[in-house]
Chain A
Amino acid sequence: MARTVQAPLDEATVKSLRAGERVVMTGTIYAARDAAHKRLVAAMERGEVLPLPLAGQVIYYVGPAPAKQGAVIGPAGPTTSGRMDPYTLPLLERGVAGLIGKGSRSEEVKQALVQHGAVYFGAVGGASALLARQIRSSRLLAYPDLLSEAIRELEVEEFPLFVLNDCHGGDAYQAAREAYRSSP
């Protein structure tokens, strides 16, 4: 049984999470991907008020498909996180404590996770229809012109995740690859 973590994340939870561990997340998280990151970072540089809180918060890299009539949200699996690497450091500096996506992060981001005490989680890419079932509500928060890339506030319940990079330098992808590698 995977342990439950509450979003937003508190410091003790962040410190207790270890790469390779499986968790389920319950609470409020924020959907943002490429175009929204670009705008957020530009807004920060101009000193503007941001449309979402950052301290302790969790950002989910997702651009959901349209919701079927009566559904809370359409399929909503993770997108490739590496594309957000160039925008991630300023967010971690402002206290973002959790990132959810899929795929490898840059060395800079991994170091920043350790430096600022944050965790990178992975959701299973392509399991999007099942993941959407764990999203209880979705509210458009900012940048509606970006369509699927708009920022949304999501309430999730037992959202299944792997800890990929922890705040102690642990790297689940690297460890897993080494364990099963047979090619030279």
Chain B
Amino acid sequence: MRTVDVRDVRQAVGDLLRHSAHSLPEDYLEAMRTAGRQERSPTGQEVIELLLENAAYAEAETIPTCQDTGMAILFVEVGQDVHFSGGEIHAALQDATRDAYADLRKSVVSDPLLRVNSGDNTPALIHWEIVGGDGLRISTLQKGFGAELMSRVQMFPPAIGEEGLQQFVIDTVEMAGPNACPPLIVGVGIGGSLDTVGVAAKKALLRPLGTASPEAHVAELESKLLDALNGLGIGPQGLGGVVTALAVHVELLATHIAALPIAVNLNCSAPRRATLEL
């Protein structure tokens, strides 16, 4: 058994969120540089260059890349042999979020109907997973909601088939158009149930760009979808072009014989994503 002090977790996660707000992942920057070479629209090329310049400037000045510094979404993998000391781990993660957002935008309302700002960007949304061993791994997404708002979930019957699912993904991106700030990263969850399919789609956004699914049939679906999306003409910022998405990541879940659920979670062209291990 390993003891982890939750105050150390609070410090590390707070630092990670603060850093991630102004520093975009290298795999994303590399994908954008490649996209800039593939884009045929001159305006699209300029938009990609501008977004790369913005990323470099934000990093150098330690200011957020985007004013929507998002809602903090945490994926926590806890080894079953970890023992937390010094307080409650859930509270420590909320404290870390509050700490980090002191200088970031407060974009959370506590009550969705009354719409009163919580004032400190809490609560963070936390997904827990108990795994073997004594490790602790925390991944963060600071999700902008321009893209979240254009995301969709649907409970289909199995007869919809793979082609029907592909059409659903294409329609989602088509309807999102310029709103979700393309070039997009498209996370797709297939299978599971109403609750888990959305989490799978979101988890798909954690996968670094440039890594295909290890399963051949899934990798093929990802590649087919990417080609179809980039044929829509939407382009960077919707100003026309052949780069509408940088990647499509598909995650599968076992499901019931009666259903073929799908969720499409869009990420804008500012993926605030980070991971730490303690």
Contact = CB atoms under 8 A, between A and B. Distances in A.
B181 A102 contact: yes
B66 A128 contact: yes
B187 interface: no
A77 B67 contact: yes
A55 to B, nearest CB: 28
Given A103-B238, A179-B240, A182-B233, A130 B179 contact: no
A56 interface: no
B151 interface: no
A124 B66 contact: no
- How many of chain B's residues touch chain A, expressed as a range? 35 or more
A102 to B, nearest CB: 6
Nearest to A81: B179
B122 interface: no
A115 to B, nearest CB: 23
A75 interface: yes
Contacts of B41: 176, 179-180
Given A80-B149, A147-B117, A176-B233, A125 B64 contact: no
Interface string B35-49: 000001101000100
Given A80-B149, A183-B232, A66 B104 contact: yes
B198 interface: no
Contacts of B103: 66, 68
A124 to B, nearest CB: 6
A48 B160 CA distance: 54
Nearest to A133: B57
B239 A127 contact: no
A88 interface: no
Contacts of A80: 146, 149, 179
B65 interface: yes
A172 B240 CA distance: 9
A62 interface: yes
B238 A62 contact: no
A137 to B, nearest CB: 17
Contacts of A76: 67
B66 A75 contact: yes
Interface string A165-184: 00000001101111111110
A104 B181 CA distance: 11
B237 to A, nearest CB: 6
Interface string A56-98: 0000001111101001001111011011000000000000000
A162 interface: yes
A124 B51 contact: yes
Contact of A122 (B237, B241, B268): B237
Contacts of A172: 239
Given A124-B51, A129-B57, A180-B40, A148 B106 contact: yes
B84 to A, nearest CB: 32
A130 B53 contact: yes
A141 interface: no
A62 B105 CA distance: 12
A156 B43 CA distance: 23
Contact of A75 (B51, B63, B268): B63
Nearest to B21: A65
Given A124-B237, A130-B54, A65 B104 contact: yes
Contacts of B270: 126
Given A65-B69, A75-B66, A176-B43, A102 B50 contact: no
Nearest to A175: B240
B177 interface: yes
A35 interface: yes
B106 A147 contact: yes
A181 B107 contact: no
B26 interface: no
A75 B239 contact: no
8 contacts: A63-B68, A66-B105, A104-B177, A127-B51, A129-B63, A148-B106, A176-B233, A180-B235
Given A74-B64, A83-B149, A127-B53, 4 more contacts: A75-B65, A104-B179, A124-B237, A177-B240
